[in-house]
Amino acid sequence: MEIPFNKPYLTGKETAYIEDAVKSGKISGNGKYTRMCQNFFENKYNFKKCLLTTSCTDALEMCAILLNIEPGDEVIMPSYTFVSTALAFVRQGAKIVFADSRADYPGIDEDKIEELITKKTKVIVPVHYAGVACDMDKIMALAEKYDLFVVEDAAQAIDSYYTGANGIKRALGSIGHLSAFSFHETKNIISGEGGMLGINDEKFLKRAEIIWEKGTNRSEFFRGEVNKYGWVDTGSSFLPSEIISAFLWAQIEQLDKIQLRRKCLWNQYYRLLKPIEMYGNFKLPEIPEYATNNAHMFYLVCKNIKTRTELIQKLGRENILAVFHYLALHKSEFYHEKHDGRNLKNCDKFADCLVRLPLFFELGSDEIDKIISVLTQSLAKSN
């Protein structure tokens, strides 16, 4: 492909920091670079505590364990999301109750959550699609009313914010009880595979560290808080190698530069496509007033699947890779028989019609111009 969908960006210091970690004699988990990354995120985004993980999936699994999810518990989340959002809770035995998306937003329809709440509901998992906030005031109010937990799936939402009715602007992932981030190679800052658990409710702090370290109180031991460490709880090996954390640290150092560039590219797409939206062949994403745009993704919603298929093919012929996104989880081979049969029409629309355009740090403005010219040929016409 002449223009790939994604290209991981090396800031330049990744390998130097990896060598530094090796020379320090410590490349297993929970070392210097892990702590530097965690401290950075805690301070910048105001989490009570962060723990790096080997993937966002693992961070979500930690949430499910921390919330003591058991067979019979129900978890409400959008069907239009990555499989891990559901899988992490399914591994603990949860029943997933899939909510529809909003007509204008793939994340979750905040107004359709309440009707899904039962006595068995334990958690709501909003997904901040494309790094754009769900309306967290609505979701947190429901959680309070029904005594539920909120886990923010912030996989795509690093460095993005939500401003509630009280006027306070808060980082995504710092609002619910717990949150999960991804540093997968397609994200704004990356470590190949990687993730992070954000903890906002203090009652989870101690147990989270234990679950992270294979059910042992090793972290307390190394801080000198206990005399020896042993097996005290369930858990897994959720912590990443220092090799991964050192790589991520180099990315973090360039966060502002990366964000600036991505937003510039995003705005270029938006500015050039806005004039041809009027032909009715697609809709552009709109950022609600309560949300910021972290420029994680640039997507269009085509008017139907035929338009999307033709668009992807046309871009492909010009060596430009554009891709669709999620399949509806409520229709998946694994879960469709467990789904209660409700029709989720907005989810289905995004599954059929949403297309993601190339967006990465090293994408050139001239390349966007080329992409736009193909889009214009396809979409700037009345049918």
Binding mask 305-344 for a second copy (x = CB under 8 A): ----------------------x-x--xxxx---------
CB distance 210 to 230 below 8 Å: no
Which residue number, 255 or 284, has a Cβ lying nearer to a second copy?
A: 255
Report residue 297 as tokens.
Answer: 């993704």
Is residue 304 at the binding interface for a second copy, with CB under 8 A as the rule? no
Which residue number, 169 or 257, has a Cβ lying nearer to a second copy?
A: 257
Report residue 105 as tokens.
Answer: 């937003």
Which residue number, 61 or 100, has a Cβ lying nearer to a second copy?
A: 61
Which residue number, 117 or 226, has a Cβ lying nearer to a second copy?
A: 226
Minimum CB separation from a second copy for residue 83, in Å? 5
Is residue 72 at the binding interface for a second copy, with CB under 8 A as the rule? no
Is residue 99 at the binding interface for a second copy, with CB under 8 A as the rule? no
In sequence order, the 6+-apart residues with CB closer than 8 A to the CB of 344 are 79, 80, 98, 99, 100, 101, 328, 330
Please identify, among the stretches 137-145, 164-172, 191-199, 288-296, the one whose residues bind a second copy according to the rule CB under 8 A.
191-199
Is residue 190 at the binding interface for a second copy, with CB under 8 A as the rule? yes
Longest dimension (CA), the chain: 74
Question: Tokens 């991520």 belong to which residue?
Answer: 248
Question: Distance between CA atoms of 324 and 80, rounded to whole angstroms?
Answer: 12
Q: What is the DSSP string of 269-289?
A: HHHHHHHHHTTSSEE-----T
Question: Distance between CA atoms of 21 and 254, rounded to whole angstroms?
Answer: 19
**Alpha helix (H) residue ranges in 46-196:** 56-66, 83-90, 136-146
Question: Tokens 């540093």 belong to which residue?
Answer: 183
Is residue 36 at the binding interface for a second copy, with CB under 8 A as the rule? no
Q: Give residues 155-184 in contact with a second copy (rule: CB under 8 A).
A: 184
**β-strand 169-171 against 161-163: which pairing, if any?**
antiparallel
Question: Tokens 């988990």 belong to which residue?
Answer: 29
Please identify, among the stretches 83-91, 132-140, 288-296, 342-350, the one whose residues bind a second copy according to the rule CB under 8 A.
83-91
In sequence order, the 6+-apart residues with CB closer than 8 A to the CB of 223 are none
Please identify, among the stretches 56-64, 108-116, 147-155, 160-168, the one whose residues bind a second copy according to the rule CB under 8 A.
56-64
Question: Distance between CA atoms of 273 and 247, rounded to whole angstroms?
Answer: 35
CB distance 220 to 235 below 8 Å: no
Query: Out of 87, 284, 287, 312, which residue is the one contacting a second copy (CB under 8 A)?
Result: 87
Which residue number, 287 or 327, has a Cβ lying nearer to a second copy?
A: 327
**Type and span of the H or E element at 44:** helix 32-45
Is residue 29 at the binding interface for a second copy, with CB under 8 A as the rule? yes
Is residue 20 at the binding interface for a second copy, with CB under 8 A as the rule? no
How big is the site for a second copy, counted in residues (CB under 8 A)?
63
Q: Give residues 245-284 in contact with a second copy (rule: CB under 8 A).
A: 247
Binding site for a second copy (CB under 8 A): 4, 6-8, 10, 14-15, 18-19, 21-23, 25-29, 54-58, 61, 83-84, 86-88, 90-91, 184-186, 190-194, 214-216, 228, 230-237, 239-244, 247, 327, 329, 332-335
